[in-house]
Amino acid sequence: MKRNYVVIIICLLVSLFIYLFYRTEKTVVTEIFISIISHNKYIQARQLISNLFPLGKHVIYSLPEGLWVLCITLTSKSLFIQLGRFKFYCIFLPLIFSIGLELFQLLHLTNGRFDFWYIGISIFCWSIGNYFIKHQTAQQHILKPINYRSIVCFFSYAIVYLAHVWN
C-alpha cells in the first residue's frame, strides 16, 4: 500500500509540474503559485524550464489527466458505496468521472475542449492502476468509517479543481 502512495505522489508532482510550467496561467494552481512567488519570477521560471525540457503537445495536454486517473484509480481501488443491497465499487468512478468530464466539454457544459486522446489515456491509465498495480487492502465502505483511506480518496478527486481554468 505504501508503494501506491509513492506512485500517487510522483504522478501528482509530475502533473503539477506540467500544469505550472506548460499550461495556461489561468489554472487555480498556477494562480496560487504566481501569488506566492510573483508573476515576474514565474515567467522567468516558466521560460527557463520550458526551454530546458521541451514537451510535446500530447504530453502537455493528455499526460496530466492520465496520471490523475491513475492516482484516483489507486485511491478508489479498495473502496465501495453501499445503498441498500446495491454495492458500487469505487474503482469505476475514475472512468465515469474522466469520461464524464470530456462529455461535458463536448456538450459545452464546462470549460475545456473535448479530446479523444484524453479518453484513451484515461482508459489506459485506469487499466494500469486496476490491473497492473497490486493492492492488498481489504474492501471498505467509503464512509463507514471515514478514515485516512477515504480522506485520501476524496482529496484525490478534489484535486481536479486545481486544474480548473478561470475565465
Q: Which three cell numbers stand for residue 143?
A: 464512509
Say yes or no to pLDDT of 167 above 70: no
pLDDT in tens, 86-99: 999 999 999 998 89
Whose grid coordinates read 525540457? 53
Is the bond leading into 145 cis (omega within 30 degrees of zero)? yes
Give the pLDDT band of residue 146 (cuts 50, 70, 90): confident
Give 91's DSSP letter: G
pLDDT in tens, 25-71: 988 889 999 999 999 999 999 999 999 999 999 899 889 989 999 99
Backbone φ and ψ for 79, nearest 5 degrees, come out as -110, 155
Tell me how far apart the alpha carbons of residues 157 and 132 are, in angstroms, rounded to a whole number.
Answer: 21
Tell me how far apart the alpha carbons of residues 124 and 63 are, in angstroms, rounded to a whole number.
Answer: 11
